[in-house]
Structure formats: C-alpha cells, structure tokens
Structure 1
C-alpha cells in the first residue's frame, strides 16, 4: 500500500508541475525557427511537439462516444500544447538529474511498474485511459512516462528525500542550468529555479481566451 501511494504521489507531483496556462498566439519575428525548445544539445522541434499533441488528441477522440464529449475534453485541456512541451522538457531535465546522481531505470523495472498499475486499475486499457485522462499521456508514450516516474522515485531516494521536497527540485534546478534550456518565446520561458515553464511577458504575445473554457491560475 505504501509503495502504491508513493507511485501515485510521484505521478501527481510531476503532473501538477505542468501548470495550466492561457492560450497564446505569437506574432513578430521567430528567434527559434523550427524549434519549440532547445535543451542542451537537443532540439524539440515544433513538428515533434505538434505530433505529440496530435497523438493525445487522437487518443482523446477515440476514448469518447461522440463529438460533443470530445469538444468538452478539448475545452478542459486547452493548454495541452504548452503542457506537452513542459512535459517533454521536464523529461530531459529529470533524466539529466538522474544521470548526474548515477540513477538508472531498466526496461524490466518499467514493465514491473506497468504490470502492478494494470492490476490496480483493471487492465492495460484501463491504465492507458487513466494516464490519458489524468496526465494527458497518449498510450504509445505510457512507458516513457513510467520511466519518468521511476527516475523521479529513484532520484529522490538517492537524495534521501521525496519529490515534494525542495532538495529534489534543487537537483532538477541544477540540471536545468546545466542544460541551458531555451524555449521559443511563443511557448513562454523556462524558469530554471522552479524547473517549470512560465508564460513570457512580451509585447508581441496576445492572450486569446477560448470560448467556454476555464482558465486556471499559473
């Protein structure tokens, strides 16, 4: 029971770190042609980001009965693009922090965690649905997300803390600095101290409120 609660707390903490943000449109010159973010020596391209978002949307559409329900789902996840980019960057930050601490995760550990979660929720399909609804993770990326959870758990254990404590996020902050993360301004900025995406306050960015959607504070 303790292990189950620990896994869920880790998942919730990492997903909660992806804060909902206003829908934005950017105008003016693009200083990051083709890139949504640069993390260390790796580029997350706009195309890669769009593909990841489209995978989630396709899974969301397949999980509901009709267009009306899908429209409601889209309205509830209006910040999906920015949330997804945050997750893609945070994944690299956490992996860097884990590497720095000598933490590794094996394929066998991922499968063990997945099997345990499937037993808890009632099967593979139920787990995929739960991760899609709760964390915006498409089924094909479920194992990647479980690796993220395991890396977080093992990193916290190595540091003698847990993912809710400042010591854990300090390690991520160090990794963020090391990777020298640079977000395309249309997607905001990266707060190194918090290892979190933030909306850029720039004159060429205009906020657009989607009709019928609720905005949450960042």
Structure 2
C-alpha cells in the first residue's frame, strides 16, 4: 500500500475518545453508496470514476508499472481521501475559513516553479496517486487545513498544535455521522481515517521530491485566513 506524506500525526489524534460505530451503509438504506457523509452519498460510481482517473494517468506515465505497484488498494485510499475532504470542508466552513481560486493558483504557480515546471509537478504528485486534474483540489484542501489550524490556534509544527487540530477535525467527523459501506471498512472518527488504512491525514501540498519540500502552503502563495 502506498503512503502519502502527512501533515498531522495520527498518534496525536489517538488520544481522542472512541466514537460509537455507525450503522453500515450499502444496505437497503443507502443502495449504491460507498459512504454517506453528512447525509450526502459518495456513490460507488463516483469512487470508481476517481480511481479510473488515477489509473489512466498512471498508465500514461513511463513509470506506469512502478506507479501501479506502489499504489495497491487504491479504492480504499481514494475513498479515504474523498471522505476526509468532506470533513475538512465542513470543519473549515464552520470556522469561517475561505480559500479563493486566486489563492490556489498562486500556490500552485509557486509549487510548479520549485518543482521545475508544471509537468514535473504533475509527475511528482502522480507518484502519490494524485491525478493531474486533482491537483487544484489538493492544494485547496491544504490551504483549508492551514486556515483551520490558524482559526483553532494550532501550530502544526508542534505536537500540541497537531493534537488541537486533530481534535477539531474529529469533532467535525463525529457530527457528520459518517457511514461507510462495510466492503470498504469502518470510518474511525478518532483518527479521521478509514479503518486501518495507512494513507493518514492530508498529504503535504509540497511536491514529494525536489525543491520547496516542507514549505507551508500559502508561502509564497495566497493564505486562507478566513478573510476570503
């Protein structure tokens, strides 16, 4: 199974109280659903479409065999990301965090320059199962995470800050009543993760290799501080 670089430690979230298990979906109540998040369905067809998009991009790469080999259980990894995106979106919205298209474009332009060009950046992210047409969404999620961290007073470079942000997202997760089709596992509200899946939290929006690694989103691009 592949692993993405993380921006939060799951061990920090492990101190949170265990949430009760939810009724499994995919039954008569939610036919055709991979998961239900906040009352909205993530359908099996939506999940498969994203997986197919990633596989198509990987297949077009000169490193196709290696990319596919390193991204086993892609269905689980992708569903994990799709659920987490919705939790993050809700948490950021509740905190008054906004990210504009200009914020995303500025950060992405800076990342492309650090990586050595747009194609190099796409190739780097594809190593982590990010299809080219998903890049803007990943950057937006990273900026939402940055903005939410500031809103809750969490310094993500410190263990206490990681814990504070994890607690905020876990509260949001519990409030959304996340219900996963049992064929994919069980959603863990404590860690905001799908079962024992190893793709933990949101990847750092910096390229996985090359210049600019470790630089926080919003530097030098736009910042999501709730001012819109």
Question: When the two structures are superposed, what TM-score results if normalisation uses the length of structure 1?
Answer: 0.75
Cα distance change, pair 16–49 in 1 and its aligned pair in 2 (3 A) = farther
| CA distance in structure 2 between the partners assigned to 1:217 and 1:126 by the alignment | 23
For the aligned residue pairs, the C-alpha RMSD in angstroms reads: 2.4
Say whether the 8 Å CA contact 1:153–1:162 is kept in structure 2.
Answer: no
Q: Does 2:169 correspond to 1:172?
A: yes
Higher helix share: 1
2:149 to 147, 150, 156: 156
| CA distance in structure 1 between the partners assigned to 2:172 and 2:52 by the alignment | 29
Q: How many pairs were matched up? A: 177
Say whether the 8 Å CA contact 2:67–2:127 is kept in structure 1.
Answer: no
The residue number in structure 1 matching 2:91 is: 97
How far is the alpha carbon of 1:126 from its aligned partner? 1.1
How far is the alpha carbon of 1:141 from its aligned partner? 1.1
The residue number in structure 2 matching 1:207 is: none
How far is the alpha carbon of 1:118 from its aligned partner? 0.5
Q: Does 2:190 correspond to 1:190?
A: no
Q: Does 2:104 correspond to 1:110?
A: yes
Unaligned stretches of 5+ in structure 2? 11-24, 201-228
Cα distance change, pair 89–14 in 1 and its aligned pair in 2 (3 A) = farther
How far is the alpha carbon of 1:14 from its aligned partner? 4.8
Runs of 4+ in structure 1 over 2 Å off:
14-17, 69-73
- Aligned ranges 1:51-66 → 2 under 5 Å: 51-64=49-62
- 122-131 vs 50-59, which moves further: 122-131
The residue number in structure 1 matching 2:133 is: 140
Unaligned stretches of 5+ in structure 1? 1-10, 18-28, 201-215
How far is the alpha carbon of 1:159 from its aligned partner? 1.4
